[in-house]
Structure 1
């Protein structure tokens, strides 16, 4: 996934099917024109009066944000778990991540960095990756269109803002999701918070942070589904083989779009534990019983199963309640993180890139 490894993330035309066969005539409610992410249902299942009530509650919360986060965070969390109203998602994500605050602290910084040339080493790779990001979404269908231009700017500016990190291919789909909801400057500061606070080290060379989280995921899976854990160990399937894209792209290239947005709503509120929970639920539902393992008699079959998770397990109505009910806490992740870090040091020595401390969601920021 590192830029130096070439294009190891497949294009979205690979993920979503060929452009010729996959295109619909009208965009769905998320802006997709076709492909696997296209949603045929025109509207949300939520009754209009319920949707309006939720919007009003969220508006009140956003207008008194600091008070709500400091005094009534459990209510904020509950509302994020129910799903942020689509009309307010951009505002909510910026408040939850404190990227709004960061942008206000750095007026004009994005434009200032955008005027700089940038390192050609990164710019060439970014340029090649632009057409791979959600080519069925109306923002990104046109080569050189406004969506691709904004994506280029956001990713370029990040390489100038953090020259020590540069660019990692998994940042492109993350930035693209942000751009579907907000202008380039806001998307940039939101990306900064994801890379530096929520998932520090994920996009650094060497991918040590993601490998560590893979080991943490495996250890947590032993608790959640011993059968799935044993099966993966039997066939020597390292977590890095199946969870890298899930975690680094925050499931944006895996789940149906309604589920992606629900996961992101919870992720911005509660932090990385949501990514762990989603991964654990998918592993348990796919490999967690003898019946399910009947078709997974080897490494290849198991990987195929994880690449083609049955849609029923990924739909928001079934996925979100399972994620919410899973008792995997920040404290448990931190404890397992210390164990796995010590094991890493015992086996491989010190980390080459020591990331900053991971912050678990809106209350910690």
Structure 2
């Protein structure tokens, strides 16, 4: 199981109380993503309330209300990738366990809901993280919102959304960390070579779990630009200093360091989240 770390219990209770108050005023406050909501997302949503807040923030709750009977029609197939998603997490250890069964239903349901797109492997770890935080029906509708509203074109056969955002990442890197950008250009390393998996999997394979949850809090509030800012911070962590760039003498070495970026982020890394927040504020 994944080790749980985080703020002291008193602070958690205070944040829970604030979120409960926000949820009670959903139509007036949360739906508009006011500055109050954004501030609380930046501080981190309490684990006990993510199952309520993520569906509300991304609009999945509204879709659930409009499609109550679709969930009942889900059928069986998509087993290929089930045991690859967080294989050491107790929820997904067994093929017959509730974790893999729930993941199977969610992914199969998506292929029925969007038959023209079908199933994309990168949706597996995304759905798995959702299931760790909420029941299967809510997880399904959050996956729908992520795929259709937050990341359109990411999971389609041509991956046009990913291609566009990878090109955007090149521009953002040139603007925010020119030395790293020059290093990548010099060695022929394009963002598509290392950031495709980052973006499509929403960093599920590349960040410690508790830091990942904090990133997703921001993602559900601010949208895709959070993913680009996280990518920038990760590149900075790997190539931001001259001595780091000197250790990467070619394309292979550079890509190896970027693909092993998880080592550069600590569990529940407040400094990492602060860097992401700083870039978000700078882009308002």
TM over 0.5: yes
Write the deviation string for residues 31-54 of structure 1: whole angstroms up to 9, x where unpaired.
Answer: x2xxxxx43xx542x222211111
Whether the aligned pair in 2 keeps the contact of 1:97 and 1:269 (CA below 8 Å) is yes
Whether the aligned pair in 1 keeps the contact of 2:23 and 2:30 (CA below 8 Å) is no
Question: 1:83 is matched with which residue?
Answer: 44
Question: More relative contact order in 1 or in 2 (CA 8 Å, sep 6+)?
Answer: 1
Question: Separation in 2 of the partners of 1:310 and 1:215?
Answer: 23
Write the deviation string for residues 330-354 of structure 1: whole angstroms up to 9, x where unpaired.
Answer: 78xxxxxxxxxxxxxxxxxxxxxxx
Which of 274, 279, 283 pairs up with 1:321?
274
Query: Quick check: which one's helix share is greater?
Result: 2
Answering whether residue 188 of structure 2 is matched by residue 227 of structure 1, we say: no
Whether the aligned pair in 2 keeps the contact of 1:224 and 1:284 (CA below 8 Å) is no
Answering whether residue 150 of structure 2 is matched by residue 198 of structure 1, we say: yes
Q: CA RMSD in A?
A: 1.7
Within a 5 Å distance, the mapping from 1:1-365 to structure 2 comes to 32=1, 38-39=2-3, 43-44=5-6, 46-69=7-30, 73-112=34-73, 114-115=74-75, 123=77, 126-309=78-261, 311-315=263-267, 316-327=269-280
Q: 1:304 to 1:168 in 2, by over 3 A?
A: same
Write the deviation string for residues 3-23 of structure 1: whole angstroms up to 9, x where unpaired.
Answer: xxxxxxxxxxxxxxxxxxxxx
Shift of 1:106: 1.1
Whether the aligned pair in 1 keeps the contact of 2:238 and 2:264 (CA below 8 Å) is no
Question: Separation in 2 of the partners of 1:168 and 1:314?
Answer: 29
Shift of 1:245: 1.1
Q: 1:327 to 1:223 in 2, by over 3 A?
A: farther
Q: 1:72 to 1:138 in 2, by over 3 A?
A: closer
Question: Separation in 2 of the partners of 1:211 and 1:329?
Answer: 24
Question: Separation in 2 of the partners of 1:208 and 1:329?
Answer: 27
Instruction: Give the structure with higher Rg (CA).
Output: 1
Aligned residues: 283
Whether the aligned pair in 2 keeps the contact of 1:277 and 1:328 (CA below 8 Å) is no
Structure 2: gaps (5+ residues) = none
Shift of 1:249: 0.7
Question: Separation in 2 of the partners of 1:267 and 1:310?
Answer: 19
Q: 1:319 to 1:206 in 2, by over 3 A?
A: same
Shift of 1:314: 4.9
Question: Separation in 1 of the partners of 2:8 and 2:239?
Answer: 36
Question: Separation in 2 of the partners of 1:67 and 1:102?
Answer: 19
Question: Separation in 1 of the partners of 2:157 and 2:32?
Answer: 39
Question: Separation in 2 of the partners of 1:77 and 1:86?
Answer: 17
